[in-house]
Homo-oligomer: A and B are copies of this chain.
């Protein structure tokens, strides 16, 4: 253990003071201490990485493909990304040489875009509730974050964009995330098209995090870059689609003029991504490109299982059409302070969830349930939730009687 010198105890970036440490992880760590808890907290698939991906990484290791890759990533991987995102998500055909970079998960992609493309003090619109990472990173970079509450439908509509621009004509950027974390809501094609049309009338740069694009139920995901390619930075990765969270492979694409700056940020932060993992990613997007479909079917069943359990327990929630989260309203016979409620639920019912408040404006009074857990765990968690809820309701009735 090393003490810091007295004169250095305040030697840090002041912008880091205004942002709390990653709230989702903090809650998860605290809840993990409860014995026998079932954690529906983290957005982490319980599946194994598809076998062809594992084999490709091991072959790369055996072949000593262990040297520095080009800063933007292995070229065959960038070529595969270009084809894949165009075919699957209707993106424009990005040039692998100048318009795509491989990053350390979508996290680094978001950070690179925010740090490279905006100046301190510039305003970014962030529709909420959403993944709290965006606001945290933007604030640490000194950007001005304007949250726009999209409750109760959780769709950022053309009307909302027009209103936001009327209120904040200085806005330079917009962060979209769909299918959305924490709500699971995604865009009907017509709604997306209308939003793109009004954005097209402005010079607002869209950073579109479409990491859950492979996880849509009953519809094909379409990227907003299909409509407004000249002002979209497309962000995705393999963590969710191929259960490759720990492999840390993301990617980012956009117009070459902007990607030039994004790549400066990327190489300046990490030099390049790990080479063997990129060999694995190439397999994911080629021989294993249909692997997400099988997982999607299982998630679909789990979603319905959890929705039924929540309804029985008195929680209401929009039916998610993508991702693996349900954003549920806490019923009025339970503690509607979500930050208190998740600990009651953890301690008394043995079920772990994330409080809605951490996802920004519109999240109060909600919990996020991740159904990227095993079917067995989800079944038991719903049984516990229903029992907990029924007991609370009974207790309340008794008190009123």
Q: Which residues of A are at the interface with B, using a C-beta cutoff of 8 A?
A: 1-5, 7-9, 11-16, 19, 21-22, 25, 42, 44, 48-49, 54, 57-58, 61-62, 64-69, 71, 92-95, 98-99, 104-105, 107-108, 111, 115-120, 133, 136-137, 140, 142, 172, 203, 205, 229-231, 243-248, 254-258, 261, 264-265, 267-277
Q: Is the CB of A66 within 8 A of B245?
A: yes
Bound: A67/B93 CA distance, A: 31
Tell me the complex Cα distance, A25–B48, Å.
37
Closest to A42 in B: B68
Residue A276 contacts which of B1, B108, B246 (CB distance < 8 angstroms)? Answer: B246
Q: Which of A14, A16, A19, A246 has the largest count of B CB atoms less than 10 A from its CB? A: A246
**Contacting residues, chain B, for A203 (C-beta < 8 A):** 5, 7-8, 11
A13-B118, A111-B269 provided; 14 other pairs, C-beta below 8 A? A1-B95, A2-B94, A5-B203, A5-B231, A8-B205, A8-B257, A11-B118, A12-B117, A12-B261, A44-B68, A58-B58, A104-B273, A111-B268, A247-B276
A246 neighbours in B (Cβ, 8 Å): 65-69, 274-276
Partner of A269, one of B44, B54, B107: B107
The complex places the Cα of A99 from the Cα of B42 at a distance, in Å, of 25
A9 to B203, CA, bound (A): 10
The answer to whether B13 and A119 touch across the interface, beta carbons within 8 angstroms, is yes
Is A276 a contact partner of B68 (Cβ separation < 8 A)?
no
| Minimum distance in angstroms from A95 CB to a CB of chain B | 5
The interface residues of chain B lying within 8 Å CB-to-CB of A49 are 61, 64, 66
Chain B residues near A258 (CB-CB < 8 A): 4, 8, 11-12
Given A16-B265, A61-B54, A61-B57: A172 touches B107 (CB 8 Å cut-off) = no
In angstroms, Cα B273 to Cα A270, docked, is 11
How many copies of the polypeptide does the oligomer hold? 2
A203-B5, A258-B11 known; A274+B271 contact, CB < 8 A: no
Contacts of A116 in B (CB 8 A): 12-13, 16
Shortest C-beta distance, A5 to chain B (Å), equals 4
Rounded to whole Å, the gap between the CB of A258 and the closest CB of chain B is 6
- Give the CA-CA distance A243 to B246 in the complex, in Å: 22
29 contacts between A and B (CB under 8 A): A2-B95, A2-B230, A4-B256, A4-B258, A11-B172, A11-B205, A13-B115, A25-B71, A54-B62, A57-B57, A57-B61, A58-B62, A66-B245, A67-B245, A68-B245, A69-B246, A104-B274, A105-B271, A107-B268, A107-B270, A107-B271, A111-B268, A140-B268, A246-B275, A247-B274, A248-B272, A248-B273, A274-B277, A277-B277
Give Cα A94–Cα B4 distance, bound, in whole angstroms: 12
Is A247's CB under 8 angstroms from B5's CB?
Answer: no
Could you say which residues of chain B place their CB within 8 Å of the CB of A11? 117-118, 172, 203, 205, 258
Assembly CA distance A69 to B42 (angstroms):
12
Closest B residue to A55 by beta carbon equals: B61
Alpha-carbon distance between A275 and B248 when the two chains are bound, in angstroms: 8
In the A-B complex, the 3 residue pairs with the closest CB atoms: A246-B275, A7-B203, A4-B255
Chain B neighbourhood of A108, CB < 8 A: 269-270
A2 and B255 in contact (CB under 8 A), knowing A66-B246, A69-B246? Answer: yes
